[in-house]
Structure 1
Amino acid sequence: MTTIEIDRETGTKPSTSRSADMKFEVVVIPVSDVDRAKAFYARLGWRLDADFTSGNDWRVIQFTPPGSACSVIFGRNVTAAAPGSARGLYLIVPDLEAARQDLLDRGVAVSAPFHGAGDVHTGPDEPYLFGSVRVGGVDPKRGSYSSFASFSDPDGNGWLFQEVTTRLPGRIAAGDTTFASQTDLAAALRRASVAHGEHEKRIGGHDENWADWYADYIVREQAGQELPT
């Protein structure tokens, strides 16, 4: 079993000096049938941003997953890669089972949840972040970064859901608490609600400052800092 332990005391601090922002915004994936790929990604519920064409020689289609700052592009004469050769395309989700069910409801085949096998990283399965061993089911500890599910587009380009609920330290600055979607914010509020319930048990009554406690919890969780008790 592989579980990512969140060490809130250590972590790489972001550099304070940089010449320019570098925003990773587009991944180009190779497909053999552009219209078939367009229909598939539309069925996922992703936003269609563009469909540009010039005769029969060139076409560019862009889709963006819900809540994502990065988009995918495919088309005709936009990459020399072999169709279906893109692997390890990760979609970060706050609730793996909800994300799986959404695609299943849309008629998209998705693997069962799986997690890593601890210190064993070599096996018969398709490689992913934790090696080539996929143990069935979500991570028993439900550790952040530790539960996955996979699916592919019609050409075989491989996507994975990865459940992330708490970021490792240094991934998000404490002053930059943002949520890419209503779903992400709702999930954070639910986690704060559960933690606050335990807090009220410890203090033996209703917390009049619950709103401040929620805010502090959510900001600290996203920044990978020690959580309030």
Structure 2
Amino acid sequence: MDFKIELIPISVSDVDRAKDFYARLGWVAEQDGSPSDDLRFVQVTPPGSACSFCFGTGLGMLPDGQAQYIQVVVEDADAAHAYLADRGIECTPVEQLAWGRFVNFSDPDGNRWVLQELPHRG
């Protein structure tokens, strides 16, 4: 049996600001809908990912102000760093550790993202 992660919620205080931030990253807004006055659902997907992230209002998935820590695998940490910098996203320099190379950044609501280049195994 396969278990495929489809959707991970993140908490944001301003839905439009968050949507703009993730659009700057080149993440596609797969959905943005308000089926009622008290509900808005936005789903964004990073390029190449089978998993999406959602945020909005009235979702009840996370407590308000709850920040996530999400780790994403990338092929090349230097390229990921350049990708973020080219889009004006503040990020850390590439950090080399025994278990990979890492670039960190945060969204405007403090959700922390870690991009990891896995170590080459010989």
Same fold (TM over 0.5): yes
- 1:75 partnered with 2:56: yes
Larger radius of gyration: 1
8 Å CA contact 2:9–2:62 kept in 1: the answer is no
8 Å CA contact 1:84–1:155 kept in 2: the answer is no
8 Å CA contact 1:52–1:60 kept in 2: the answer is yes
Supply the distance in 1 between the matched residues of 2:114 and 2:77 (Cα, whole angstroms): 10
Q: Give the partner amino acid of 1:97.
A: D
Residue by residue, what CA displacement relative to the aligned partner does 1:155-183 show, whole Å, maximum 9, x if unpaired? 0000001002547xxxxxxxxxxxxxxxx
- 1:160 partnered with 2:114: yes
Aligned position for 2:74: 93
8 Å CA contact 2:103–2:115 kept in 1: the answer is yes
8 Å CA contact 2:27–2:45 kept in 1: the answer is yes
> Number of aligned pairs?
121
8 Å CA contact 2:28–2:45 kept in 1: the answer is yes
Residue by residue, what CA displacement relative to the aligned partner does 1:99-149 show, whole Å, maximum 9, x if unpaired? 1101100011011122xxxxxxxxxxxxxxxxxxxxxxx24xxx6x41111
Supply the distance in 1 between the matched residues of 2:78 and 2:51 (Cα, whole angstroms): 22
Match of 2:2 among 17, 21, 28: 21
Deviates more, 1:57-66 or 1:71-80: 71-80
Supply the distance in 1 between the matched residues of 2:66 and 2:16 (Cα, whole angstroms): 15
Structure showing the higher strand proportion among its residues = 2
**3-state SS of paired residue (1:27):** strand
**3-state SS of paired residue (2:100):** coil
Query: RMSD between aligned alpha carbons?
Result: 1.7
- 1:51 partnered with 2:16: no
How far the C-alpha of 1:97 sits from its partner, in A, is 0.6
Residue by residue, what CA displacement relative to the aligned partner does 1:185-211 show, whole Å, maximum 9, x if unpaired? xxxxxxxxxxxxxxxxxxxxxxxxxxx
8 Å CA contact 2:18–2:108 kept in 1: the answer is yes
**Structure 2 runs not aligned, ≥5 long:** none
8 Å CA contact 1:96–1:149 kept in 2: the answer is yes
Supply the distance in 2 between the matched residues of 1:36 and 1:83 (Cα, whole angstroms): 15
Residue by residue, what CA displacement relative to the aligned partner does 1:68-99 show, whole Å, maximum 9, x if unpaired? 11110001112232325212x01111100101
Q: Give the partner amino acid of 1:146.
A: G
**3-state SS of paired residue (1:147):** strand
Q: Give the partner amino acid of 1:81.
A: P
- 1:64 partnered with 2:45: yes
Supply the distance in 2 between the matched residues of 1:104 and 1:84 (Cα, whole angstroms): 26
1:107-122 to 2 correspondences below 5 Å: 107-114=88-95
